[in-house]
Structure 1
């Protein structure tokens, strides 16, 4: 009976500790992004962030490796949702349709997931900071390349092809991600919200043309 009582009493304590950790992490994240949006990424130091949250640097580095990890915390969440959406597309759907469908269906999920962490408006402002900060833009492009590789391998697995010998998964994903980058750059230069970015991305993807939408099951498209 004593053992049961100890275990039963430990669960709430553990839950409380985890809640406090999550609240601390979320406070650090939100304060960091607010400072990035207000002062710029380069104009914000870790000292500024921890002072805003009233914690130590040691606490900050317990949750984040550095400012760059904070800046890309929310985009990383969005990327995972897109990859999961591609994996969940119906079998046999042409690759381009799978990618476009995954992007369409993940918009609302991404917005909801973002708002559980930070206000969507703040996320959009920080995105513009990323686009206008050379160090962050370089990191963003590197991360985009890594995302392309993940998506290409998911598409290759869906289609039953080897991406190391069949270039089509990487070609397709590069084309789609390139279109998204064009849409993002056009959007980031303005002052519109997420709905405008969604519409712009959809319109740009529609311009890829029907050729890329053909199924890959046709033997004429099989790599030799």
Structure 2
């Protein structure tokens, strides 16, 4: 028995190689799905077609994604993870709103590279608009954003040493921040044109209005 186990260990691919293969398969599924969505539309694209385009089985598709929604939102999920990691790396002494704004700017710096490692940036932006204009995907995206905002709230509370059960400020701040992010995505999507830089500039412009809008005298 030990000899058999040793032989199996020698013939199995190294764990690093396995992970790279899994990453390539996942990326191929995402790229194939987004290309088909762009060509045929989300509703008219089937999981079988995605698997065929990626040259894998339907069973392999479901190893990586639970459904079409998940693969459609995969790149947004990756950017969300980058944003959360970036916020956690901001200076500890930074106030909550500047930390969120700084994390947004830092995320924009790295988002393009993260996206283009999987799909062309132009395809990602078409997908972004598709999500905004597809009720099923938009609902799924909003559910995901609710989870992200909960994580942001906990991180802000941790940074500030606050008890969320006793202090509502992290919830209030993140709710306002999340609202800005959602409204800029909607406005950008409705314009029907512009790239990642246009979305970044719109987001920053609206974030810079957050403090004055909440605390300022609008009639002054």
Question: Could you tell me the TM-score, scaled by structure 2's length?
Answer: 0.87
Pairs aligned (count): 211
> How do residues 101-112 of structure 1 correspond to structure 2 at under 5 angstroms?
101-112=102-113
Residue of structure 1 in register with 2:200 after alignment: 198
Q: Corresponding residue for 1:51?
A: 52
Q: Displacement, 1:23? A: 2.3
Q: What is the aligned partner in structure 2 of residue 30 from structure 1?
A: 31
| Structure 2: runs of 5 or more not aligned | 216-220
What's the secondary structure of 1:55's corresponding residue? Answer: coil
> CA 1:95–1:44 in 2, change beyond 3 Å: closer, same or farther?
same
Deviations 1:176-207 (A, max 9, x none): 11111111111111210000000000000111
CA distance in structure 2 between the partners assigned to 1:12 and 1:66 by the alignment: 29
Please give the alpha-carbon distance, in whole angstroms, between the structure 1 residues aligned to 2:34 and 2:47. Answer: 12
1:43 aligned counterpart, secondary structure:
coil
2:71 match: 70
Q: 1:188 aligns to what? A: 189
Q: Distance in 2 between matches of 1:19 and 1:10?
A: 17
> Hey, what does 2:121 align to over in structure 1?
120
List runs of 5+ in structure 1 lacking aligned partners.
214-224
Alignment of 1:1-16 (within 5 A): 14-16=15-17
Structure 2 distance, partners of 1:88, 1:15, is: 27
Structure 2 CA distance for aligned equivalents of residues 26 and 195 of structure 1? 24
Q: CA deviation at 1:209?
A: 2.4
**Relative CO higher for 1 or 2, CA cutoff 8 Å, sep ≥ 6?**
1
Q: Distance in 2 between matches of 1:57 and 1:37?
A: 20
Q: What is the root-mean-square deviation in Å for CA atoms of aligned residues?
A: 2.3
Structure 2 equivalent of residue 146 of structure 1: 147
Residue of structure 2 equivalent to 1:155 = 156
The residue number in structure 2 matching 1:88 is 89
- 1:65-108 Cα offsets, whole Å, 9 max, x none, are 11111112111111111111111111221111111011111111
Moved more, 106-115 or 150-159: 106-115
SS in 2 for 1:209: helix
TM-score w.r.t. length of structure 1: 0.86
Find the aligned partners of 1:88 and 1:82 in 2 and give their Cα distance.
10
Cα 1:154–1:13 shift into 2, 3 Å? closer
Q: Within 1, Cα distance between the matches of 2:106 and 2:187?
A: 22
